């Protein structure tokens, strides 16, 4: 039997500051292959290049990845500011259309970091461009060295940094078999006020929302703020998440 297919959204990247390209972090693709047991197919985060109807005829699930660019503030009623750039409005457009279509049709959907934020905003949430600026909040951005440069060791950058408390009896608590997990943290923007269909299932020690699901979704529709794609091959929490996504994708393929 052929493996199910997972569409993995790409993001704009300027090569040499001149050539527009679409890219996906390889760890996302490896996680889909190794843990979800599916075939990853990258699709452009651009409406001019990706037709949502055609995409959903090809894939059995969709992974919304993290990315350097923030969701554009106009999507949640705020003003853009140069210090919160870059933005990727083409990806915003295709991601929001894909989210709506997947949730409506029961196509398994997993959002990570920016993908988590896209899912939240798609259903009425607002975001704060710098969570660390809110009173009592921690700095959730990637760790840096004393000289301000990013740490060169990726295991340090993506190392677990804080706990997340899960809702007792919720989807994530059942999935992980526990009510407290520990995760990495590499984001500046985060959910400020969740929309009506956003069910908050996990919260960091400082109150930052870390895990959500879409209420009344007929299929798998979960999002996490942390980078679960980094180490699901060895991290039991991230492995469980990608395995559950893979099972949902496989079931969707069998149902066709």
Delineate the domains of the chain, giving CATH numbers in brackets. 5-255 (3.40.50.880)
Residue 164 main-chain phi, psi, to 5 deg: -130, 125
* For range 201-230, the mean pLDDT: 95
CB 158 within 8 A of CB 227: yes
* Dist. CA 93–CA 236, nearest whole Å: 33
* Dist. CA 149–CA 143, nearest whole Å: 9
* For range 114-137, the mean pLDDT: 87
Confidence of residue 78 (pLDDT cuts 50, 70, 90): confident
Confidence of residue 21 (pLDDT cuts 50, 70, 90): confident
Q: Is the pLDDT of residue 195 over 70?
A: yes
Q: Report the pLDDT value the prediction gives residue 37, as an integer from 0 to 100.
A: 97
Active site residue ranges: 113, 227, 229
In this structure, of 50-54, 186-190, 199-203, the range with the lowest mean pLDDT score is 186-190
Kindly give the residue spans of alpha helices, DSSP state H, lying in the chain: 26-34, 52-58, 89-105, 114-122, 154-157, 171-176, 236-255
Q: Report the pLDDT value the prediction gives residue 68, as an integer from 0 to 100.
A: 84
User: Could you say which DSSP state residue 132 is in?
Assistant: G
Residue 22 main-chain phi, psi, to 5 deg: -115, 135
* Dist. CA 185–CA 225, nearest whole Å: 8
pTM (2 d.p.): 0.93
Q: Report the pLDDT value the prediction gives residue 142, as an integer from 0 to 100.
A: 67
Q: Report the pLDDT value the prediction gives residue 148, as an integer from 0 to 100.
A: 65
* For range 209-236, the mean pLDDT: 96
Q: Report the pLDDT value the prediction gives residue 185, as an integer from 0 to 100.
A: 85
Q: Report the pLDDT value the prediction gives residue 43, as an integer from 0 to 100.
A: 97
State both tokens at 248.
């949902």
Q: Angle 89-105/114-122 helices, nearest 10 degrees?
A: 70
Condensed to tens digits (0 to 9), the pLDDT of residues 137-181 reads: 777 676 766 676 767 777 776 778 789 999 999 999 999 999 999
CB 56 within 8 A of CB 101: yes
Sign of CA dihedral 229, 233, 239, 244: positive
């Amino acid at each position: 039997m052929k493996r199910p297919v997972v569409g993995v959204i790409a993001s704009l990247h300027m090569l040499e500051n001149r050539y527009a390209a679409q890219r996906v972090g390889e760890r996302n693709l490896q996680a889909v292959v190794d843990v979800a047991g599916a075939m990853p197919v990258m699709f452009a985060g651009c409406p001019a290049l990706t037709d949502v109807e055609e995409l959903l005829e090809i894939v059995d699930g969709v992974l919304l990845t993290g990315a350097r660019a923030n969701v554009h503030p106009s999507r949640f009623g705020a003003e853009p500011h140069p210090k919160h750039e870059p933005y990727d409005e083409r990806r915003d457009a295709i991601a929001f259309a894909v989210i709506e279509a997947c949730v409506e049709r029961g196509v398994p959907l997993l959002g990570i970091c920016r993908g988590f934020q896209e899912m939240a905003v798609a259903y009425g949430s607002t975001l704060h461009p710098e969570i660390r600026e809110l009173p009592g909040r921690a700095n959730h951005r990637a760790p840096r060295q004393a000289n301000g440069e990013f740490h060169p060791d990726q295991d340090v950058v993506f190392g677990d940094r804080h706990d997340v408390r899960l809702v007792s009896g919720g989807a994530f608590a059942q999935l992980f078999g526990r009510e407290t997990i520990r995760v990495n943290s590499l984001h500046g923007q985060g959910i400020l006020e969740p929309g009506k269909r956003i069910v908050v299932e996990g919260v960091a020690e400082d109150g930052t929302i870390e895990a959500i699901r879409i209420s009344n979704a007929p299929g798998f529709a979960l999002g996490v703020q942390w980078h679960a794609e980094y180490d699901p091959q060895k991290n039991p929490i991230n492995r469980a998440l990608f395995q559950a996504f893979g099972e949902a994708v496989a079931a969707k393929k069998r149902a066709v």
